[in-house]
Structures are given as structure tokens and as C-alpha cells.
Amino acid sequence: MKIAIIGGGPAGLTAGYQLSKELGNKITAVDVYEAADQVGGMARSIDLWGQTADLGPHRFFSKDKKINALWLEVVEDDYHIVNRKTRIFYNKTFFDYPIRAFNALKGLGIREATRCILSYMKQRVFPVKDTTTFEGWVTHRFGKRLYTIFFKTYSEKLWGISCAELDSDFASQRIKKLSLFEAVKNAIAFKKNSKHATLLEQFAYPLNGTGSVYTKMMDKIQSRGGSVYLRTPISQVITKNHMAVALKLETGEEVAYDQIISTMPLTQLTERMEILPDNIAETVRSLRFRNTILVYLLVDGNNLFPDQWLYIHDSEVKTGRISNFRNWIPELYGEHSQSILCMEYWCNFNDTLWTENDKYLAELAKREINHIGLAAKSDILDASVFRIPRCYPVYFSGYQEKLKPIQEFLDTIGQLHVIGRYGAYKYNNQDHSILMGMLAAENILSDAGHNLWSINTDYDVYQESSTITKTGLTVSKDN
């Protein structure tokens, strides 16, 4: 088989890494096409001012034994275990995240805390009826007051729509096991080991940044005889008799393949099909992605704040999240005494912010970091701007009804495997995309029949659970 993979992010490179093990046996070629000048997708690492930073905060954590074993196979011993610290910045106060009852009550003050508790109790007696939206789901779980304080501002910055228009899927996938009742109960019982499933307090991190995982995958693919083509965007997947048979490069060149794995944005993949039913074309146009602008600041200081990243719940600034790469591992900054902060801004293509020049964005970030009080404007030595289109698939209310017919249409095309955050239109973490890549490879190599659409961010592990520790893989039994 000749196999093509569109996209060199976590999903695509994992598939390529696994498939390349069969080069010379079942497979004659594994070709990975990446539009950017380096691999890693959103999880790539960059060199700035002699230091290493990621495209925003990227931690790796999984309980799946297969995923963890593969990650360790690639990374080997080149990683540290990082003690996670992330907080919410609201009303000039830092709050623990996930929410800890006593910390929240202290930070809010007696008056506001009382309002929050009364709001929570009201919700227990008179619950909201519609929990299909993010607003309804979170209000039902925490009460209106805490929803407004700790969830509304950040979520609306991220998605660009009202939380009343945001599907509850986002909440159920990201904060499904977190509740105020559990937070209070654990605080009273002093259960320090009780953790939310997606917010564990430690994670494994590669010595050379998150992107080094995917650089190693690329190197291994090439050493086995596969090819990784950088700066090579794909224009179209060519189909014939309901089979994916070739790729069309932006140069116009067409290359034939027996199997094609796509991680390109689902909208672009589908819109560019030569034969596309009118109803599918209309439905695809209703799907939308959110863009990210990253403004990196070089700050003359190395003890700014202790968190790896902060969630900014302040409506007076546009930034929604701030990463401090000084607080990850020493290997990122080496002998340098300055800190690199990453300010995240989210927008649509038609938003003015997306078209602003780098100088404007740098000045905006400097003003806002000064306003929040994390660094003085005079301490900022330099700035660098990165624009990343189509980062987040928008979970607008009812999006699944739009997505399903597109999935069903793509399922009619043989030899095509759609995976990844962009490709599957799912708000994946790294581990979910890695799993998609592994299962796509199994589908090709052994006709495993995995339903790739079913892998989602609420994926749970049963029977054998594992954790990456300083000494490798620790396996335990789950019920």
C-alpha cells in the first residue's frame, strides 16, 4: 500500500509513526504532507530569544496504557514530571483551578461568597430546565452566580458567542466530574488526593518542549524510509467511484495513493470534494473554527508568578489565557534570566483583531499585562506575534445535528480516514489525537473497524489504567 497523511500534527504523525513500522512489509510508502515549515501542528515548539516555548500551554496526560506506552516509546527518558499550577484571575484576585471551596470563599469575600452559596441553593430547589447549552449546564451544576464569575467571561472570549449559544458538550467534556458539592465535601474532609479527571496535578513534559515528541516521530518515519514534506499544503483529496484515490497538491500535481488519512480542517476537506451534494455543501458552511493570536513577551524578570498558565476572567482585557514558560522545566530557558510569557487572543476571520499588524498586537499585550499587574510595561524587552487559523472547532448549540450528515457523507468514501482536532471537528487534547492516529493505523493495517468519530474528549479508560511517572509506566486496575 501507498499511504498519504495530510497534516503533521499529533494525530497525523502518530498514524505515520505506527504505519512506518510496516514499511517494506505491508506498506511501500508513507508520505506525510505538512503545510507549515515544521511538524507538531498546534503542539509544536518554537525557538524565541534563545529559549524554547510552545504554541500556548500544552500538557500531556492520559490514563490509557496504549497511549502512554507509545508516548514513552517515542520520548524515551527525555522528560520531566511537572507539578501543575494553574489559577483563575478574577477581580484582581487569583483563584485555584479547579475550584477549591475554601480558597474561592476567601477570595470572593463573605458577602459575595454568601450570594454564591444562596445562588447554588436556589438552583438545587429551582433548577434550570434547559441544560443543553453551556450556560444552562454550568448554572445547574454551580448556580448562576458562580457560573457568571468563573465560567462566563472566559468561555465567551474563547468561543466568540454567548454561553447561551454554546453547546453543553464543551462543559460535559471539560468539567464533567467537577461540582461545587464535591469541592465543598472534599475541602471539609481535607481530601487532598481527590482530583478532577482532566485537571490532574502532575503531567509528563518533554525536555525540549511539546513539539519535540512530533519531531522525533518525524525523524523515525524518515529513518524507516517514509517521507515528510514540509511547506507542502494539499489542495484536494481526489475521489473516484466513492473512493479516495489521490491527492492534489497546491502546485497542481496529483499523486495516487491506496489509503489517505486526513487531519486537514473538516470544512476544507469536504468543501473541496469534486462531487458534493448540495445539502452537505450547505451544512459544511455552518461549521466554523475559531482563530488564535499568540503574542509572546520577553520580560526582564524570572519570578513573575508561579503558574504554568492563568485563565483571565477579566472583561476589561481581551486576553483569555497567559502562559509562563519559566515555570515549566529549566531546560526551556537554560542560562537565560528573562521570562517568556504568551498572551492568547481568540477571534474570527472577520474580526478586526485578526487583521491588526504585529506592532498593534504587541502594544495591546504590553498594556494588558501591565493592567493585570503581572509585569510592568517597562520590563518588556521584546515581543513576537504568531497567528494560528482554525484552532478551535466551535461547539455552537446544535452543532452535532450539522456534523452528523457530514460524517455520514465522508463514511461513504472508501480509503479515507478522517482524524484529529481539525479533521474530526473535535476539541481534542493531545492524547485523544494520538489515540485517533493509532486507531486509524490499525484500521488500515488490520481492518480493525474502529469508529474514529466516536473518539472524543470524554473518552474514558476501563480495566487497565496507567500513569507516566518519573520511572516510566505505572499500571493499575480500574473497575
Residue pLDDT, tens place only, 48-85: 999 999 999 998 988 899 999 999 999 999 999 999 99
Give the integer Cα–Cα distance in Å for 74 and 107. 43
Report which residue type is found at 366: K
Radius of gyration of the chain (CA): 23
User: 29, 172 in Cβ contact below 8 A?
Assistant: no
- CA nearest 289: which of 425, 172, 398, 432? 425
pLDDT tens profile 438-458: 999 999 999 999 999 988 655
Query: Which portions of the chain are predicted below pLDDT 70?
Result: 101, 174, 176-200, 456-465, 476-479
Give the integer Cα–Cα distance in Å for 235 and 207. 35
Q: What is the DSSP string of 346-387?
A: EE-TTSHHHH--HHHHHHHHHHHHHHHTSS-GGGEEEEEEEE
Give the integer Cα–Cα distance in Å for 388 and 294. 8
User: 270, 282 in Cβ contact below 8 A?
Assistant: no
pLDDT number for residue 446 = 95
pLDDT number for residue 185 = 47
Helix (H, G, I), strand (E, B) or coil at 319: coil
Give the integer Cα–Cα distance in Å for 301 and 214. 31
pLDDT number for residue 197 = 41
Q: What is the DSSP string of 183-213?
A: HHHHHHHT-TT---TT--SEEEEETT-THHH
Give the integer Cα–Cα distance in Å for 377 and 370. 6
Q: Look at the alpha carbons of 450, 268, 157, 387 in this order and tell me if their dihedral is positive or negative.
A: positive
Residues in contact with 283: Cβ distance below 8 Å, sequence separation at least 6, in sequence order: 402, 405, 406
Give the integer Cα–Cα distance in Å for 35 and 17. 18
Place of cell 469508529: 451
User: 257, 2 in Cβ contact below 8 A?
Assistant: yes
Give the integer Cα–Cα distance in Å for 447 and 465. 26
